[in-house]
Homo-oligomer: A and B are copies of this chain.
Amino acid sequence: MAVAELSPATSFTSSQSSYVAPSARLSYHRRLSFQHVPRTVSTGIRCSVTSDKIQAPGVINDGKTKQDCYGVFCLTYDLKAEEKTKSWKKMINVAVSGAAGMISNHLLFKLASGEVFGPDQPIALKLLGSERSFGALEGVAMELEDSLFPLLREVSIGIDPYEVFENAEWALLIGAKPRGPGMERAALLDINGQIFVEQGKALNAVASRNVKVMVVGNPCNTNALICMKNAPNIPAKNFHALTRLDENRAKCQLALKAGVFYDKVSNVTIWGNHSTTQVPDFLNAKIHGIPVPEVIRDRKWLEEEFTQVVQTRGGALIKKWGRSSAASTAVSIVDAIRSLVTPTPEGDWFSSGVYTTGNPYGIAEDIVFSMPCRSNGDGDYELVKDVIFDDYLRSKIKKSEDELLAEKKCVAHLTGEGIAVCDLPEDTMLPGEV
């Protein structure tokens, strides 16, 4: 294979100092290509190549190159050396599991484009897949290359969370096994729980000590609890279960009913479990700053239709669409992250499934429950205190709480709390959202 050379006649000025030494620069061309490594042997992350034409197989470990990189992202860029990028923030590491799936296929391009973390935040994407999906992971990395995103400076792919999560500052845990035909919910809790035991342990071992973890893979509340319990060295407050899509759907339905654009709807809380027991809270929600029950004077609609439409929207969509709502889920993940890295607008809040211990609402401690949060934009949040309850809301919240306490008992063997006892009275998984 021919090797590129820089023209000796070319004198690079300081603006070209992002060039790296040729030895480091080109070493990825000579890395082992996949046909030479039985894929089933190693579970580590390996550098891939972008064409099948590599003729000089062999691993070069010169100590300067990255172990876990992809194509053009194997280079090291000195952002401080360039006028255009020297004011940029320090690069952040964002790990994404289920990276070969459809939600990630939307999300990764949003993360890379800068719309999540801003136009001055360079990003390293660390993609976790499975052995089965490894080819697709490479395909995603190739498409990310071809998209020429200025902020995307590293992409690595792998199937071992202990490698992929290294120094991760965000871990977006999207991957989970879908429920197979005839699978009991208890079995689903167990099979996915195992994944989150391993990922929690891996985060605990190798991630940034302040990593923010967002669990999307369902059942996401209990998966987040399992993950958290297996990562005792990471603050419990850093774990989130995604209920933002439910919040967005609730806002849209309230807007539709009231005949207003959805940006007029605020203060919508999703309480509880991301399941059909979830509680879209119309009591505290506002339209044009006015409490929803004063704008939509149809309590029956609010208690019955509204709640049901929000809870079953995912299933309705699958019926129309033939597949689950990957694009809007990805949008809601973006919204959820943005809500943590930008200050919450005055008087408003957002929903997230977070750890209940210390909550001011009287909800059972030690579960992950969706509640209203505010952030000052530092990645952290606090629970909102000025919410009101009525008997209806209390009873609905209680039902979701009971469900999560039952789920917790089902996974006691995964959280280190003894023997699992699984007694789930109803099957409340969101249709199509397993």
Report which A residues bind B (CB closer than 8 A): 2-7, 9-10, 12, 15-16, 18-20, 22, 25-26, 50-53, 71-72, 75, 77, 84, 105-106, 109, 113, 115, 135-136, 138-140, 142-148, 150, 153, 245, 248-249, 251-253, 255-264, 288, 290, 294-298, 300-301, 305, 309, 313, 316-317, 319-322, 325-328, 331-332, 335
Contacts and interface: CB of A to CB of B under 8 A. Distances in A.
Q: How many copies does the complex hold?
A: 2
A322 B143 CA distance: 13
Nearest to A246: B146
B7 A261 contact: no
Contact of A136 (B77, B305, B320): B320
Nearest to A141: B320
Contacts of A7: 290, 294-295, 297
A301 to B, nearest CB: 5
Contact of A259 (B75, B297, B317): B75
A320 B3 CA distance: 26
Contacts of A153: 261
A71 B143 contact: no
Most buried by B among A2, A71, A146, A309: A146
Contacts of A294: 7, 9-10
B263 A150 contact: yes
Contacts of A313: 142, 146
B142 A317 contact: yes
Contacts of A245: 146
A39 to B, nearest CB: 13
A135 B105 CA distance: 22
Contacts of A106: 106, 109, 327
B3 A298 contact: yes
A313 B142 CA distance: 9
A72 B255 contact: yes
Contacts of A260: 18-19, 75
A53 B316 CA distance: 12
Contacts of A148: 248, 251-252, 262-263, 335
Contact of A320 (B72, B139, B335): B139
A362 to B, nearest CB: 30
Nearest to A251: B148
Nearest to A108: B327
B19 A248 contact: no
Contact of A50 (B140, B143, B309): B309
B252 A327 contact: no
Contact of A4 (B25, B298, B320): B298
A297 B146 contact: no
Given A105-B327, A140-B321, A252-B148, A72 B261 contact: yes
A378 to B, nearest CB: 24
A112 to B, nearest CB: 9
Contacts of A50: 253, 256, 309, 316
Given A19-B259, A261-B72, A139 B248 contact: no
A272 to B, nearest CB: 19
Most buried by B among A16, A144, A249, A259: A259
A157 B243 CA distance: 29
A35 to B, nearest CB: 13
A395 to B, nearest CB: 22
Contacts of A316: 50-52, 142
Nearest to A153: B261
A252 B9 contact: no
A259 B147 contact: no
Contacts of A249: 146
Nearest to A10: B290
Contact of A327 (B22, B147, B258, B305): B147
A404 B5 CA distance: 36
Nearest to A314: B146
